Amino acid sequence: MNIAQPFLIRARRDPELSALTSAGRTFTFGEMATRVHGLAGGLRGTLGLPRGARVLLYMENRSQFIESFFGIWTAGLCAVPVNAKLHPREVMPIATDSGAGVIITSSTLLEGLVQELATQPINPRVIVSDSDEYERLTTAPPIACEEMEPDDLAWIFYTSGTTGVPKGAMLSHRNLMTMSLQYGPDIEQVLPGQTMLHVAPLSHGAGLYALPHLFAGGHQVIEPSFSTDVVFEALQRYPQVSMFAAPTMLSRMIRSAQGIANPAGNLSTCFYGGGPMYVSDLIETLDLLGPRLVQIYGQGESPMTIASLSKRDHEGPRDAAHLARLGSCGTARTGVEFRVVDEAGRDAPLGELGEIITRSDTRMLGYWNNEKATAAAIRDGWLWTGDIGTVDDRGFLTLRDRSKDMIIRGGTNIYPREIEEVLLRHPALLEVSVVGRANPDLGEEPVAFVVVKEGMTVTPEDMDAMCLDNMARFKRPREYFYSDNLPKNNYGKILKTELRKLLKKEDA
């Protein structure tokens, strides 16, 4: 079993179909397959990577991202994609932990990456995707698709978790194959020539959902980033468009659609997830786009394959029962089980809160080089998600709270402890606590409560600089609140619940 094989079979069958379009250039399936086989040969032969070696992908959305996936898998290697928005300093722990032998990046990210690598004990080979060197790799002597075992690694998805420490969720060829096969019965049946519009980061779920589309002969249209103008133009231009959108993207589309005669255009399916979507926004989106929405719920450890709310489930009279269903994330995906349980693993009564656990062939193998975290997350075959929810008598799952204190900004996870640790490096700060504040556009945004050491001063600009020097811009707090002390319990733990109450009063 090799996750690249269905694509290569499709390319042999329909070499003339359009496979990838990016930056004004289109590759057919036949052309892409030729480049994939060459890239596989370049990685194994020219660069000398052994079977199973990790290749880190750190670049913006572009055709080389998806092309690299299939070159890596064809060569029998493992992909380690990371968000291009991350600060190069944040990429280093991932490169170190994964033991990446090669990093494929872009010319725009190269300088910062090289500067950070110079401070590290690791020395991976750096290849620039938009360079002659990369193109030479695609024309290296081609190799056949490597035979892999179902549980061989295909993808390591790094997720910081609530501790802020990077953890690599290990996804196998079986995991990705099962995920791809579940797409048809749960989301849509893809036809040759259908369009998949990519405006979300390919390093995340949107990139994985390119697989079932390519397997079925779908055309991947890749844009560097999301903008409403780009999306609305693409919906008019391309046939049978499918796309992934975070809830904040849909909110922006609602506000930007005024004056457009047919904003849905050729949209076939819009599947959304990555964060909670308010029912009021969902109704507006349905009014805008029609019955073309599918909600997906999952996480990197079970990639987008725990539950889904189908197109049919989105339709209804908008009475109380229908609105409650719209507030859920649907029922179990094909081949997936989930339960809502108490701390001892006992099923919670219908409608009562508990932790969501799941098992299926999409459940990760475990965390890379982290047996302790694996043992905590996987118990008796079940993945403990850390998410809190309820389930009703018809099997609809509703998320009630995110695990711990994670902040979801525009569909991207932000972990408060990571920000707190960076800010506490400033010599003037005694205590820091970061919490999420509701934002109508992005869902949530981080804000920080800080206690300054006696006799010292620190400005918001100082704290911003500290953050921007050490992490991605989108993670920095949007406001700083000064306090003489932070509320704590009897054990000295800062009570974030009290801080959230203060925020509500501040925003009232």
Q: With pLDDT > 90 as the criterion, what percentage of the chain qualifies?
A: 81
3-state secondary structure of 100: coil
Residue 265 domain flag? no
* pTM of the full structure: 0.86
pLDDT of 164 = 55
Phi/psi for 65 (5° steps) reads: -65, -55
Contact 422, 470 (CB under 8 A): yes
- State pLDDT tens for residues 461-504: 999 999 999 999 999 999 999 999 999 865 457 888 899 888 88
Boundary of a domain, candidates 128, 148, 168: 148
For residue 124, give both structure tokens. Answer: 């991976």
Measured between alpha carbons, how far is 143 from 320 in angstroms, rounded to an integer? 58
Asked if the structure places residue 71 within a domain, the reply is yes
Domain that holds residue 74: 1-7+18-148
DSSP annotation of 475? G
Answer yes or no: is pLDDT of 167 > 80: yes
Residue 128 located in a structural domain? yes
Q: What is the CATH number of the domain that holds 422?
A: 3.30.300.30
Compute φ and ψ for 165, nearest 5 degrees.
-90, 125
- The 366-367 sheet, strands edge to edge: 125-128, 102-105, 54-58, 78-81, 153-159, 167-172, 366-367
Does a structural domain hold residue 237? no
pLDDT value for 474: 93
How confident is the model over 66-94, as a mean pLDDT? 96
What are 90-132's pLDDT values in tens digits? 999 999 999 999 999 999 999 999 999 999 999 999 999 999 9
Average pLDDT over residues 4-11: 98
Identify the band that residue 440 occupies on the pLDDT scale cut at 50, 70 and 90.
confident
Residue 138 domain-assigned? Answer: yes
E strand intervals along 106-240: 125-128, 153-159, 167-172, 195-198, 219-222
List the one residue out of 399, 418, 315 whose CA is nearest residue 354.
399
Pairing of strands 241-245, 267-272: parallel
The pLDDT assigned to 353 comes to 86
For residue 175, being part of any structural domain is answered with no
Tokens matching residue 75: 């060569």
Lowest mean pLDDT among 26-35, 50-59, 187-196, 248-257: 248-257
On average, the pLDDT of the chain sits at 93
Side-chain-side CA neighbours of 340 within 13 Å: the count stands at 24
> Which of 148, 164, 197 is the last residue in one of the domains?
148
Which of 28-32, 158-162, 221-225, 285-289 shows the lowest mean pLDDT across its residues? 158-162
Binning pLDDT at 50, 70 and 90, where does residue 161 land? very low
Number of domains composing the chain: 2
Stretch 374-389: mean pLDDT, rounded? 94
Backbone angles phi, psi at 390, to 5 degrees: -135, 160
Beta-strand relationship, 78-81 and 54-58: parallel
The 10s digit of each residue's pLDDT in 14-32 is 999 999 999 999 999 999 9
250-259, 442-451, 499-508: which has the minimum mean pLDDT? 499-508
Where residue 276 falls (left for φ over 0; alpha for ψ -120 to 50; beta otherwise) is beta
Specify if 235 maps to a domain.
Answer: no
pLDDT score, position 196: 98
Tens digit of each residue's pLDDT (9 = 90 or more) over 305-337: 999 999 999 999 999 999 999 999 999 999 999
Exposure string over 160-196, b if 16+ CB within 10 A, otherwise e: bbbeeebbbbbbbbbbbbbbbbbbeebbbebeeebbb
Q: C-alpha distances in angstroms, 3 versus 69, 72, 211, 215? A: 10, 10, 9, 10
**Domain of 47: which CATH number?**
3.40.50.980
What is the mean predicted confidence (pLDDT) over 399-428? Answer: 82
Residue 96 lies in a domain: yes
Q: Which of 131, 148, 165 is the endpoint of a domain?
A: 148
Whole-number pLDDT of residue 415? 77
The tens digit of pLDDT for each residue in 272-288 reads 987 767 788 899 999 99
pLDDT of 277 = 76
Stretch 244-253: mean pLDDT, rounded?
89
User: CA dihedral defined by 414, 418, 423, 427, rounded to 10 degrees?
Assistant: 180
- The pLDDT of residue 162 is 41
